[in-house]
Amino acid sequence: MEQALTFLSNNLNLHKMKNIKIYILAFALLLSSTACEKYVSKDDFNPNQPTSSTLPTLLPTVEVAVFATYTGQISRTSGLWIQHFQGTDQQMIDISRYEITENGIQNDWNTIYASGIVNAKDIITKADALGAPYYKGIAQICYAMLVGVATDYWNDVPNTQAGLGVANLTPQYETQEAVITSIQTMLSEAIGNLQTATSANSVIPASDDLIHNGDRSLWIKAAYLLKARYSNRLSQRNATTSATQALANLTAGGWSGNADNTYARFSGAGNELNSWYAFENQRGNYIKMNATLVNKMIAKNDPRISFYCKPDNNGNFTGTPVDDYADISTSSIGNYFAGPDATTLPLLTFAEAKFIEAEANLRLGQSAAAQTAFTEAITAAMDYPGIDAAAVSAYLTNYGTLSGSTADQLAQIMDEKYVALFTQLEPYHDWRRTNLPVLNPATTGVQATIPVRFPTEQNERLYNPNAVVVSNTTTRVWWDN
């Protein structure tokens, strides 16, 4: 710089003016690049977002990701397909017509991986570094729940290479078989971590654990039921092993009632609303109850119907039938699940444990044990909304006894489970796995059959060359074969 100015001053006859040199020198000083660099280097710190995070702030993120995944649009889509609900407006009509696009499921895929799995992995890493196995165990269970949904709907999915950020921008996909194996391993590890001595933990989850408020015994029960769920999921791959493992996990879990349930938790605050309440509130009449479910319940005089459905305009419980996308005079989802006071939605319930127990025993030919579990399952499911004992026993008298062939008995179990696990994802998986209950697909859909998976998410197709892309929603997942 100074050289340049000297050159200029010579050429412009500046040297005649003594004072000018002082200017030039002062100016050159002023412009020194170090001063400039220093001046602009004080703003690398982002005052709006921290560069590090803590276990008690990461855990709520992962748990809310679980709520969003299990109670959000995936649950509505599944419910529409298995005819718990019928779409009567906008995109819900599309879904009822089996039209689902690669960007229609984008938010859900994003929640699972970019809000859930990435931060669950971050907790696991941080917990190892800090010596916090309880946090690690809860994060592992949440991870298993999230990657479980991913593989149940998308089959082969990223797992060990997922959530690594800039270290791996093109995660490899793993087979569903490998993913489910790793779910089982991770859940077993989680149980071990949650069983460590308190003294082995430098920090212990409490109210930041939105789900169980730090109650490790409930988390261990949750982990065993998840293990049983994913064991039983493989009934088509190996009928016997899937059943024995499911029963072993249930025994180890030691569930004793609905007090052991795992819930997604909500409140009346605008950003914590029950997903179904929020949907009904903001998207009224997009979804009505489906006649398939309502008629099934009416036929059995099911006392839960007033909990599942709101009365229609005439005070009756009615559903909109499949292929009807316009009738909104029917019942909406009931206040027990979607009302302003419904602050929980079920994720893992005692009823599910007992239905798995009934099904596994039936598969192993242990019909007495199956019957016992079936009775307990119905009782648990009735107990969930608080049906009084007399009504429960009346229902059990009529519908609580397994009878007929094994296939008939399985149909009875799956039919009851289909009703009992209302709003959950399991009935859709069960239907794919067992084709029970028998559902008549819509005839006005974009395809003749109910979709049996989600299409690969758009960003994965476009930006991950390692993605295993499947766009056809009639292609079955591995455990569905």
Q: Report 135-164 residues binding other proteins (CB under 8 A).
A: 157-158, 161-164
Choose, by CB under 8 A, the member of 118, 179, 194, 345 that binds other proteins: 118
Choose, by CB under 8 A, the member of 81, 109, 317, 395 that binds other proteins: 109
Residue 40 interacting with other proteins (CB under 8 A): yes
Q: Which is nearer to other proteins, 237 or 283 (CB)?
A: 283
Neighbours of 50 (CB within 10 A): 9
- 47 CB-near residues (< 8 Å, 6+ apart): none
Q: Which is nearer to other proteins, 192 or 339 (CB)?
A: 339
Q: Report 223-262 residues binding other proteins (CB under 8 A).
A: none
- Relative to beta strand 173-174, strand 157-158 is antiparallel
Q: Which is nearer to other proteins, 139 or 377 (CB)?
A: 139
Residue 404 interacting with other proteins (CB under 8 A): no
Residue 339 interacting with other proteins (CB under 8 A): yes
Choose, by CB under 8 A, the member of 6, 21, 99, 323 that binds other proteins: 99
Q: Which stretch binds other proteins (CB under 8 A): 240-248, 268-276, 288-296, 353-361?
A: 268-276
The least CB distance from residue 191 to other proteins, in Å, is: 25
- The answer to whether the CB of 225 falls within 8 A of the CB of 250 is yes
Cα–Cα distance for residue pair 375/360, rounded to 1 Å? 14
Residue 457 interacting with other proteins (CB under 8 A): yes
Q: Which is nearer to other proteins, 94 or 415 (CB)?
A: 94
Cα–Cα distance for residue pair 162/359, rounded to 1 Å? 34
Residue 191 interacting with other proteins (CB under 8 A): no
- Nearest Cα neighbor of 1 from 24, 23, 35 is 24
- The answer to whether the CB of 183 falls within 8 A of the CB of 237 is no
Q: Report 340-359 residues binding other proteins (CB under 8 A).
A: 340
The least CB distance from residue 168 to other proteins, in Å, is: 7
Choose, by CB under 8 A, the member of 3, 199, 271, 403 that binds other proteins: 271
Q: Which stretch binds other proteins (CB under 8 A): 36-44, 129-137, 251-259, 406-414?
A: 36-44
Residue 397 interacting with other proteins (CB under 8 A): no
- The answer to whether the CB of 442 falls within 8 A of the CB of 98 is yes
Residue 283 interacting with other proteins (CB under 8 A): yes
DSSP 311-347: --TTS----BPTT--S--SSPPBPHHHHSTT--EEEE
Q: Report 306-335 residues binding other proteins (CB under 8 A).
A: 310-315, 326, 328, 332, 335
Q: Which is nearer to other proteins, 37 or 199 (CB)?
A: 37
Three-state secondary structure call for residue 440: coil
For the record, the structure tokens of 59 come out as: 């855990």
Q: Which residues of 412-450 are buried (b: 16+ CB within 10 A; e: fewer)?
A: bbbbbbbbbbbbbbbbbbbbbbbebbebebbeebeeeeb
Cα–Cα distance for residue pair 454/475, rounded to 1 Å? 9
Q: Which is nearer to other proteins, 198 or 270 (CB)?
A: 270
> Using a CB cutoff of 8 Å and minimum separation of 24, what contacts does 119-122 make?
119/58, 119/61, 119/62, 119/65, 119/163, 120/62, 120/146, 120/163, 121/162, 121/163, 121/164, 122/53, 122/58, 122/163
Cα–Cα distance for residue pair 99/95, rounded to 1 Å? 5
Q: Which stretch binds other proteins (CB under 8 A): 51-59, 129-137, 252-260, 413-421?
A: 51-59
Q: Report 62-81 residues binding other proteins (CB under 8 A).
A: 62, 64-65, 67-68, 72-73
Residue 373 interacting with other proteins (CB under 8 A): no
The least CB distance from residue 51 to other proteins, in Å, is: 6
The least CB distance from residue 433 to other proteins, in Å, is: 25
- The answer to whether the CB of 147 falls within 8 A of the CB of 71 is no
Q: Which is nearer to other proteins, 280 or 352 (CB)?
A: 280
The least CB distance from residue 139 to other proteins, in Å, is: 12
